[in-house]
Chains A and B, each alone.
Chain A
Amino acid sequence: MKYSYFPGCGMEATGIEYAKSLAFVNRAIGVEFIEIDDWNCCGATAGHSTSHELGMALPARNLALSEQQRPGMPIVVPCASCYSRMKYALQAAQGSENEKLSRLIGMPVSGAAEIVSIMEAYSDPVAAEAIKAAIKKPLDGLKVACYYGCLYTRPPKVTGMENCEDPQAMDELVRLTGAACVDWAFKTECCGAGHHVDLPAESKPLLYKIYKNARANGAQAIITACPMCMMNLDMRQGAVNMAYGEDFDLPVYFLTELLAVAMGAGFGECGVATHFHPAKKLLQNLINNKEVV
């Protein structure tokens, strides 16, 4: 399987573990992501809160580049925020705004290629089969909460998500590793990542509620497939514990990290070693205990 690949800025910085683990998994299952040459930032929230045009045009240029470089090839987007922007741009390019968009970016764009998330790419039957086959160190005994967040799911008219209140794609992939997924109520609640710089105080309660519900439902860890959510959930867990007098201990893993570990990747190799909230011990203990038995 080959995908045109839009990594997004996060994959080169705070989401570095995502990039590492993703590369490991792709190698293990024989999936190829081919980076769009000369892609630019999608603009994220800042783009669309500045103007509708900017919010559409920045991602549209990436669409146009992919179309030019690899016509018809589906584009995989590993960041939820980028995914949302790309989907919006795709819709705009397919609709009445096509002409305007082409004019703004200075090149033709048709909106012919499909946009898929990591979850969608890996849920493909061939890929899923390959993942199953590649699992070497099953993670049974681990209970995790799959966190989808906002932008993979909403608004459903743009994302095309069938059940945006209780999505299952990530849960199904996680179960392939042998880990169990808890049923919890906050899998699509907003974590406030977009405000972590300008309104950190106002967005802190959002994180607190997510941790609280995950813990209450028996989760030992949180799984995400978005570098923005990861940074927010991982980096600020300590601050939330401090602010609320709590002792949440919920390591946050990228979906690909979990897959990679289950496929036998080393913790450093896939990124688990460099999280803000210590993430190595939980998985290490799990695997060690098993080997003893």
Chain B
Amino acid sequence: MAEKNLSSLSAANAVRIEALADSIGAKLHECYQCGKCTAGCPMAGSMDLMPRQVIRHLQLGLLDEALHSRAPWICATCYTCSARCPHDVPISELMEAVRQQAERAGIRPIRRSHLFTKYFLLPLKWFGKNHELTLTMFYNLASGRVLQHFSYLPAMLKGSKLKIFPARVKNREAVRRLMENCEREAERI
């Protein structure tokens, strides 16, 4: 593994990390690396960097390593880490912020997670509400897992748990505008 020259990191890097932390009110220096976040994380077993290490990379200015990590994508945002942190570092929120930044930079260490989010928001933008059938269809096709969850279909239909036709918001225009506003706002940062 290549040595990390901490002195050669660009100032822009530090600014980006600071902005990232500031956006959720996190103070990175407050983390003293006790590891309690990792210890309680239900998903840590599947992560490449432990939650603690994601923060550590940010503390050191190693933003690229954090952005390329799978960990923020695997994070289930269960907030166990945040709730137990002795220094009140919002770790879950930090993971999310890293994931958002990676997403904007086109870095998608777990494509399926990216697709899920993408196709979750698709019916939302169209109808103002979630529509599981739309989501599942698009997701299954894009991820190549065409038959995922297929076996549950009969039971779902029987219990009318799956709507063939999506529920819609009356003022769909308002929701679409809202979502576009948010996209613009996020890009500004």
Contact = CB atoms under 8 A, between A and B. Distances in A.
Asked if A and B are interacting partners, one says yes
Interface of A: 9, 12-14, 16-17, 38-41, 43-54, 57-58, 61, 100, 103-106, 150-151, 153-156, 164, 189-190, 192, 194-195, 197-200, 202-203, 205-206, 235, 274-276
Interface stretch (B1-9, B10-18, B48-56, B112-120): B112-120
A106 B171 CA distance: 12
B155 A276 contact: yes
A85 to B, nearest CB: 11
Contact of A105 (B130, B148, B162, B178): B178
14 contacts: A40-B129, A46-B117, A49-B117, A50-B117, A50-B186, A52-B23, A52-B24, A53-B181, A61-B178, A103-B181, A106-B174, A106-B181, A198-B115, A202-B45
B139 A197 contact: yes
Contacts of B152: 235, 276
Given A14-B132, A49-B96, A104-B185, A198 B113 contact: yes
Contact of B96 (A48, A275, A276): A48
Interface string B125-163: 000111110011001000100001100100110111111
A12 B162 CA distance: 9
- Closest 8 A-B residue pairs measured CB to CB? A274-B159, A190-B78, A154-B79, A46-B120, A51-B186, A9-B130, A198-B116, A150-B78
Contacts, number: 176
A47 B78 CA distance: 15
B182 A194 contact: no
A60 to B, nearest CB: 9
Contacts of A41: 124, 128-130
A237 B110 CA distance: 26
B60 interface: no
B26 interface: no
A73 B90 CA distance: 31
Given A16-B161, A190-B78, A199-B74, A9 B113 contact: no
Contact of B116 (A57, A150, A197, A202): A197
A155 B83 contact: yes
A279 to B, nearest CB: 11
Interface stretch (B29-37, B61-69, B97-105): B97-105
B46 A51 contact: no
B59 interface: no
Nearest to B163: A13
Nearest to A209: B42
